[in-house]
Amino acid sequence: MSIKNIIFSILLLFIPISLAAHFLEWGDLIVFITAALAILPLAAWMGTATEEITVVVGPGIGGFLNATFGNATELIIALVALNAGLIDVVKASITGSIISNLLLVMGLSMLLGGIRYKEQTFESVVARVNASSMNLAVIAILLPTAMNYTSIGISEATVQNLSLAVAIVLILVYGLTLLFSMKTHAYLYEVGIAEIEEDEVTHEKPNVWLWSGVLLVCTLLVAWESELLVDSLEVATSKLGLSALFTGVILVPIIGNAAEHATAVTVAMKNKMDLAMSVAVGSSMQIALFVAPVLVIAGWIVGQPMDLDFNPFELVAVAVSVLIANSISSDGKSNWLEGTLLLAAYTVLGFAFYFHPVTNGMG
Amino acid sequence: MSIKNIIFSILLLFIPISLAAHFLEWGDLIVFITAALAILPLAAWMGTATEEITVVVGPGIGGFLNATFGNATELIIALVALNAGLIDVVKASITGSIISNLLLVMGLSMLLGGIRYKEQTFESVVARVNASSMNLAVIAILLPTAMNYTSIGISEATVQNLSLAVAIVLILVYGLTLLFSMKTHAYLYEVGIAEIEEDEVTHEKPNVWLWSGVLLVCTLLVAWESELLVDSLEVATSKLGLSALFTGVILVPIIGNAAEHATAVTVAMKNKMDLAMSVAVGSSMQIALFVAPVLVIAGWIVGQPMDLDFNPFELVAVAVSVLIANSISSDGKSNWLEGTLLLAAYTVLGFAFYFHPVTNGMG
Amino acid sequence: MSIKNIIFSILLLFIPISLAAHFLEWGDLIVFITAALAILPLAAWMGTATEEITVVVGPGIGGFLNATFGNATELIIALVALNAGLIDVVKASITGSIISNLLLVMGLSMLLGGIRYKEQTFESVVARVNASSMNLAVIAILLPTAMNYTSIGISEATVQNLSLAVAIVLILVYGLTLLFSMKTHAYLYEVGIAEIEEDEVTHEKPNVWLWSGVLLVCTLLVAWESELLVDSLEVATSKLGLSALFTGVILVPIIGNAAEHATAVTVAMKNKMDLAMSVAVGSSMQIALFVAPVLVIAGWIVGQPMDLDFNPFELVAVAVSVLIANSISSDGKSNWLEGTLLLAAYTVLGFAFYFHPVTNGMG
């Protein structure tokens, strides 16, 4: 049993603790922190369960499951927050997830991998296709913000309509990327799948019913903990002196993406840099191409004014993250300094969001 | 005779129809549509005539002719619109031509070429030089907009002076790119020319006087049809509920660039991706490096307040198009998904321009 | 003795002339011009002295000296101007140094090198690492401007705090890049050092005490001439009809970077393009990663309100320069046309800063 697994097993204890904190009314701050800690192992187990099921059902349906459940934790937290009306936090968590995947996850992978290996390479075609899809998707979800910012007198309805149109186009593109990766160009992805499988400890055929049960239970528990997290979020963060923007952009994505962080860093330290990069870039891509559109459409269905009109500085931060990540990854090589540069960029953006005035509207 | 040629021959019928529509006063909408349809085959014939003349006069003068007449249709429509005082439409058609070449033409080529061939390549030095020139030119023509947008209290005269200075620098750069491609580094371009010639059906020596006559007649007819198009434009588009911005950015470039679309897609489906890319990128480059400066100088001569101060959202749209096109084409390979991504970007921008409020000034 | 050395020797005469102009009160304009001309040879001698000392003390301390004294002239001028309270000029000279290194120095190198050689190449790993570090550093120093521009009601204290935080992060990153280039990945830099040494005329072991003395004297003289330059700057430039923005962005960097210009162009004409690129990109990187943070911290110590809140159009200009330089250099090849494109971009930006209204605040 690896250190990672031991830590995640201990963290499972926070599930009963967070429930106790909630029902015994230990205060919002403690509920918030314990619920956040409880989500981390659940997200990891969801990832494991999805991968085990994939081994059985094959790359076809398995790829679809992986793609859909890959960002399930973020999606569940965001849906709960959306339902509670915390639109600002939901929006900020979308941009924050993209930023933290591109800078924090990619940066930690390159730094920790680079301390072990002088130079690491990752030059697959998949990385290139993922990066192109991500670039498009990120630009598309930022377009309503750009339009609103550069024009005067745009009505909320216009922004809402444009956001819906963008969401529908992106969902269609998402479907086409699945078609590309599972049907027409599936052979490109076989190397990556081989790397994943090789990485797994167990080689027996997994019990699909068992893992489906695990997946179901974890999903329900994540949803429950997300309720606790969201309910205590506003009081807890204001006690810590943090704005909704900082909470959404920095805190929530760290909680929601913890499993990806652990995976990417672990494989990077085994010199499987292709896999680490595909986790970081692929996760960003899915946020922009699938999670954000689903949230817009869900908001429209439940009657919450969820659109893609972000704070202009979020637009700047995402654009900056994409540019730096492209600039550093475009040559297919990495070293510890490049990892440090990504982390420095994340730190600087973190300072900026921390200093960003709270009172200034978030959209 | 190919299907393309049959379609273009049938479309020639719209020349007499549009004239009838004009003189018999069938209404502005019908004049607009029939004139637009009449321009399509004329533009194609101008392209054919220029290529045939090139075969005879050789790459020297021929290259110059090709470069000058390559965007003749757009230029003629824009000059007619400029003379009629439709400055907003002229400006929008400049940015729209760049966007539609980079996203629509390149996207359709990659998609339709990619359906036939799993992966297509285009790695010539020419593509690289073209892309650099285009990047510079596009940035230069957007600079007055950026300056005006980021500063307060800039007078119209300042923007006009800066636009003229930019236009003169770009015309000089345009001359130098011709010097580069025809003299100092002509050998780089020989492969491309070979591909073009190979692509032609006839291999007899063309009659240069005949084709010069065709070129002259087509140019005059395009100018005439452009008059009809421009005169009916405002009433026709307002009947369709379209803003001047949408008309200029989306509609006019589709009419003006139809010949390039047909050429690029046709050669892409023959797996001549180098040629398809050079049509898309080269055409964008010429719009920014030659057509836009000529229009600024022409406006200054005829006393129309034509400058390079675009709507800020046009700046965003062009910047986005250039970034996506660079991101997708930088590796010299393409597949159907990348084509789809470009088309998705075009669709999303189209929605944005459609939803863009009409009343908000265009510059 | 090369032509370059003869010119620089003659320019040394401007040291006594500038002092005479100052003490005999020949007018601010003459003091400004003669002090500027006097700085040019001093900067060149500082560069030579640093290189000679490097040969003796070895790449370890030598690399540190080179890195620190590489932009000493710019830093001294900026510190003197900062002390005199010319914050606007100091800020503008930071962005101007980046722009002039990326467009003017790189452009002249590619143009003059490209006239001699059809195609030049530069593909070292160092160039890549430098470019990544520069991209990050440039984005980081522009972040406070971007935050201030995209938000309303940000207090000066917030911008100041964020600027300080950014400065500290960048200084740390600067230290890590030195660690990378001198310790963990020093072998990557050996080729470049070999090229530098090969480029030197003398092969005897230099006298380290002599050259240290030269370095000290030159530093003191540069500081003195900078005093004259800064004291006469406001009157002189207003006589010439130039704004503080134009002076800071265009004039001051040309004076401060003259030595780099000479070096880069000289080696480019010897087809050592790797070295020329590393001067241009490396110098930009050091401005953003070391000079700018030092100035922010120095301003904070001496009580001047020095922050990283630039004029928004400076942000645009730097972003544009970085994009064009990346676009042109990313393939590791250059020709005269690419040099021309960079110079055209510099010219266009120069026009924009010239036309930029003076009255509009600079930050």
Provide, rounded to the nearest whole percent, the portion of chain B with pLDDT above 70: 92
pLDDT-based confidence at residue A131 (cuts at 50, 70, 90): confident
- Does the structure show a pLDDT above 70 at C199? no
Amino acid A59: pLDDT: 63
pLDDT tens digits along B117-159 = 999 988 766 777 788 888 889 999 999 999 988 888 788 889 9
Cβ contacts (< 8 Å) between B165 and chain C: which residues?
Answer: 348, 351, 355
Amino acid C363: pLDDT: 36
Amino acid B281: pLDDT: 87
Cα angle A81, A84, A86 (rounded to 5 degrees) comes to 60
DSSP assignments along C152-215, one per residue:
SS--HHHHHHHHHHHHHHHHHHHHHHHHIIIIITGGGGHHHHHHHHHH-S--SPP-HHHHHHHH
Q: Residue A160 to residues A153, A156, B136, B184: CA-CA distances in angstroms?
A: 14, 6, 35, 54
Residue C200 φ/ψ region, left for φ over 0, alpha for ψ in the -120 to 50 degree band, beta for the rest: beta
pLDDT tens digits along B222-259 = 989 999 999 999 999 999 989 889 999 999 998 888 87
Amino acid C198: pLDDT: 56
- Could C355 and B133 be called an inter-chain contact, meaning their C-beta atoms sit closer than 8 Å? no
What is the C-alpha separation between C98 and C119, in angstroms, rounded? 25
CA atoms within 13 A on the CB side of A134: 30
**Element spanning C363, H or E:** none
pLDDT tens digits along C318-350 = 999 998 988 888 878 899 999 999 999 999 999
The residue type of A107 is G
User: In whole numbers, what is the pLDDT of chain B averaged over residues?
Assistant: 87
Amino acid B109: pLDDT: 94
What is the ipTM score, two decimals? 0.88
Cα angle C221, C223, C225 (rounded to 5 degrees) comes to 70
Question: Residues A296-301: contacts with CB within 8 Å, 24+ apart?
Answer: A296/A163, A296/A164, A296/A166, A296/A167, A297/A164, A297/A167, A297/A168, A297/A171, A298/A79, A298/A82, A299/A82, A299/A87, A300/A160, A300/A164
Least Cα separation, residue B325 to chain C (angstroms): 13
Which one-letter DSSP state was computed for residue A205? Answer: P
pLDDT-based confidence at residue A360 (cuts at 50, 70, 90): very low
Bridge partners, residue A121, by sequence: A333
- The owner of tokens 């300080």 is C164
- Could C169 and A356 be called an inter-chain contact, meaning their C-beta atoms sit closer than 8 Å? no
pLDDT tens digits along C17-33 = 999 999 999 999 999 99
CB contact burial A190-218 (16+ within 10 A = b; e otherwise): eebbebbeeeeeeeeebeeeebeebbeeb
pLDDT-based confidence at residue A200 (cuts at 50, 70, 90): low
Q: Which of A116, A313, A336 is the best substitution to test chain C (most C C-beta atoms within 10 A)?
A: A313
Amino acid C188: pLDDT: 77
Rg of the Cα atoms in chain A: 20
Bridge partners, residue C334, by sequence: C120
- Could A176 and B340 be called an inter-chain contact, meaning their C-beta atoms sit closer than 8 Å? yes
Q: Which two tokens stand for residue A134?
A: 């991500």
* Average of per-residue pLDDT across A7-29: 92
Cβ contacts (< 8 Å) between B338 and chain A: which residues?
Answer: 129, 132
* Average of per-residue pLDDT across C218-231: 93
DSSP assignments along C65-79, one per residue:
HHHHHTTHHHHHHHH
Amino acid A345: pLDDT: 95
Backbone phi, psi, residue C24, to 5°: -90, 5
- The owner of tokens 């400890």 is A201
pLDDT-based confidence at residue B195 (cuts at 50, 70, 90): low
- Could C337 and B128 be called an inter-chain contact, meaning their C-beta atoms sit closer than 8 Å? no
Amino acid A261: pLDDT: 82
Least Cα separation, residue B154 to chain C (angstroms): 6
* Average of per-residue pLDDT across A38-53: 87
Collapsed DSSP state (helix, strand, coil) of residue B356? coil
Amino acid A1: pLDDT: 58
Which of these, C129, C142, C246, C241, lies nearest to C189 by C-alpha position? C129
pLDDT tens digits along C67-106 = 777 788 999 999 999 999 999 999 999 999 999 999 999 9
- The owner of tokens 């911008």 is C159
Q: Residue A48 to residues A7, A59, A206, A211, C312: CA-CA distances in angstroms?
A: 15, 15, 11, 9, 48
pLDDT-based confidence at residue A65 (cuts at 50, 70, 90): confident
pLDDT-based confidence at residue A50 (cuts at 50, 70, 90): confident
Which one-letter DSSP state was computed for residue A251? Answer: I
Comparing CB atoms, the residue among B144, B153, B173 nearest residue C344 is: B173
* Average of per-residue pLDDT across A74-80: 93
Q: Residue B151 to residues A171, C313, C314, C362: CA-CA distances in angstroms?
A: 38, 7, 11, 10
Amino acid B124: pLDDT: 66
Comparing CB atoms, the residue among C139, C155, C180 nearest residue A320 is: C139
What is the C-alpha separation between B144 and B161, in angstroms, rounded? 10
- Could A132 and B313 be called an inter-chain contact, meaning their C-beta atoms sit closer than 8 Å? no
DSSP assignments along A119-175, one per residue:
-EE---HHHHHHHHHHHHHHHHHHHHHHHHHHSSS--HHHHHHHHHHHHHHHHHHHH
Amino acid B45: pLDDT: 87
pLDDT-based confidence at residue A290 (cuts at 50, 70, 90): very high
Please tell me whether the overall predicted TM-score, pTM, comes out greater than 0.80 for this model.
Answer: yes
Q: Which two tokens stand for residue C141?
A: 């120093």
- Interacting residues of C171 by C-beta distance below 8 A, sequence separation 6+: C290, C293, C294, C297
Provide, rounded to the nearest whole percent, the portion of chain A with pLDDT above 70: 92
Q: Which two tokens stand for residue C205?
A: 């072991």
* Average of per-residue pLDDT across A347-356: 93
pLDDT-based confidence at residue B49 (cuts at 50, 70, 90): confident
* Average of per-residue pLDDT across B287-304: 93
- The owner of tokens 């710019």 is C74
Amino acid C1: pLDDT: 57
Comparing CB atoms, the residue among C140, C151, C172 nearest residue A345 is: C140
- Does the structure show a pLDDT above 70 at A124? no
Which of these, A153, A25, A105, A146, lies nearest to A277 by C-alpha position? A105
Nearest residue on chain B to A178, alpha-carbon basis:
B337
Which of these, C320, C327, C326, C328, lies nearest to C353 by C-alpha position? C320
Comparing CB atoms, the residue among C162, C169, C185 nearest residue A344 is: C169
Amino acid B9: pLDDT: 84
* Dihedral, CA of residue A21, residue A25, residue A26 and residue A29, to nearest 10: 80
Contact B82, B90 (CB under 8 A): yes
Amino acid C3: pLDDT: 78
Comparing CB atoms, the residue among A153, A165, A176 nearest residue B337 is: A176
pLDDT-based confidence at residue B56 (cuts at 50, 70, 90): confident
Chains touching C (at least 3 CB pairs under 8 A) are: A, B
Rg of the Cα atoms in chain C: 20
* Average of per-residue pLDDT across B286-309: 93
User: In whole numbers, what is the pLDDT of chain C averaged over residues?
Assistant: 87
- Does the structure show a pLDDT above 70 at C194? no
pLDDT tens digits along C276-307 = 888 888 888 889 999 999 999 999 999 888 99
- Does the structure show a pLDDT above 60 at C249? yes
Go through chain A and tell me how many residues it has.
363
The residue type of B309 is D
Collapsed DSSP state (helix, strand, coil) of residue B121? strand
pLDDT-based confidence at residue B282 (cuts at 50, 70, 90): confident
- Does the structure show a pLDDT above 90 at A176? yes
* Average of per-residue pLDDT across B164-183: 92
**Element spanning C121, H or E:** strand C120-121
pLDDT-based confidence at residue A363 (cuts at 50, 70, 90): very low
- Does the structure show a pLDDT above 70 at B14? yes
Bridge partners, residue C333, by sequence: C121
Amino acid C359: pLDDT: 47
- Could C337 and B133 be called an inter-chain contact, meaning their C-beta atoms sit closer than 8 Å? yes
Which of these, C282, C338, C272, lies nearest to C121 by C-alpha position? C272
Q: How do A333-334 and B120-121 pair as beta strands?
A: unpaired
Amino acid C57: pLDDT: 77
Nearest residue on chain A to B354, alpha-carbon basis:
A162
Q: Which of A130-144, A272-286, B51-65, C202-216 is predicted least confidently?
A: B51-65
Amino acid B91: pLDDT: 93
Q: Which two tokens stand for residue A327?
A: 């600039």
C-alpha B35: how far from chain center: 18
Top pLDDT among C202 and A337 is at A337
Amino acid A354: pLDDT: 92
Least Cα separation, residue B146 to chain A (angstroms): 11
pLDDT-based confidence at residue B363 (cuts at 50, 70, 90): very low
Amino acid A191: pLDDT: 56
The residue type of A26 is W
What is the C-alpha separation between B74 and B257, in angstroms, rounded? 7
Amino acid A260: pLDDT: 77
- Could C326 and A324 be called an inter-chain contact, meaning their C-beta atoms sit closer than 8 Å? no
Q: Which two tokens stand for residue B258?
A: 């139809």
What is the C-alpha separation between A179 and A176, in angstroms, rounded? 5
